[in-house]
Amino acid sequence: MYQQHITHRNRTAIILLIDGSVSMKARMRINNSPIAMSDVAAMVANFVIDELVERARRNNRVRNYYDIAAIGYSGDGVVSLLPGDGDGLISVDRLVEYMPQPKTYVVEQKTPEGKSVYAHFLLHPWVEPKAKGCTPMYDALVAVKDIVEAWCNDPDNSDSFPPMVLHISNGDCSDAGEEELIEIARRITDTHTRDGNTLLVNLHLSPTNEANDFCNVFPSEATFHSKDPDRIALFKMSSVIPKSLEPAIYDMLHQRYRGPYRAVAFNTSVCEILSIINIGSASINDFRY
């Protein structure tokens, strides 16, 4: 399980699910910079899409290795954030036809000596920050369930590495309770190809005044301790990390505890988020022609 190499014959799907509700206006601290959570969510999403495009590039041509979707939810409802077909998915080789002009991002960092330095990097703004209205998380998860279910049921995808859903949120939900969220998440992770079940990864963002209360990356049952209902719900919603990925997580996090781990992270740094994404999509690093 979770052993299939991603090729143009055995493709996969990556679905980004992004909270764009008004509560995402709150600021969190990345290194030494206070940044709106909506900006962090867009930055992470844009990094993921850029990275996926580059990993699919061969001889100056982007090959059709996977389908990508970016789904946003906010006071405007549940909407597709990328150009694509009716289901919200677009193949990576078609997506590059719509590539926007790159944008420079600046993040302040502290050196070991305590000096401030500014890191500049380019990303294509596929997804723009948004923070508006209510938080229809349940409706968004239903939309994602429909997308991954249709993709997994397509006979052309039956032998493929299963889809991965990357959900970026502050955990608030305005249209369902904990049990409903856990149930729809289970329906997402019950979808599968012959190579395994769909992986649901939750990245939880907290405003600066809460971030020091709770920081946990890929917790196990032994390391997760919280009384916050939103965090408990996200923990229970998240996939159990496949056994094949446990050693990488153990080494990266220097965990005292062995798995099984949950595919959820609370109040991580940008570096940790990017490491998590690389682990969560490990098979994407290994293409076969």
pLDDT tens-digit readout, 178-197: 999 999 999 999 999 999 99
CA distance 197 to 184: 14
Region for 56 from its dihedrals, namely left if φ exceeds 0, alpha if ψ lies in -120 to 50, beta otherwise:
alpha
C-alpha to C-alpha distance for 60 and 104, rounded to whole angstroms:
23
- Per residue, the 3-state secondary structure of 95-120, as one string, reads HHHHCCCCEEEEEEEECCCCCEEEEE
pLDDT band at 235; cut points 50, 70, 90: very high
Closest to 169 (Cα-Cα) out of 274, 271, 73: 73
Nearest one of 89, 70, 97 to 81, comparing CA atoms: 70
**CA 102, 65, 166 angle in degrees (round to 5)?**
65
Q: Is the pTM of this model over 0.85?
A: yes
Taken in order of first residue, the domains within the chain and their CATH numbers are 12-100+128-285 (3.40.50.410)
Exposure string over 104-125, b if 16+ CB within 10 A, otherwise e:
ebebeeeeeeeeeeeeeeebbb
State yes or no: pLDDT of 236 exceeds 50. Answer: yes
260 upstream amide cis, omega within 30 of 0: yes
Q: How far apart are CA 23 and CA 14, in angstroms?
A: 25
- List Cβ neighbours of 97 (8 Å cut-off, separation of 6 or more): none
Q: Do 194 and 204 meet the contact criterion of CB atoms below 8 Å apart?
A: no
* Tens digit of each residue's pLDDT (9 = 90 or more) over 25-77: 999 877 667 889 999 999 989 989 998 999 899 888 999 999 999 999 999 99
Amino acid of residue 191: T
Find the mean pLDDT for residues 82-91: 84
Dmax of the chain from CA atoms?
57
pLDDT surpasses 50 at 217: yes
- Asked if residue 149 has pLDDT above 90, the reply is yes
Strand, helix or coil for residue 168: strand
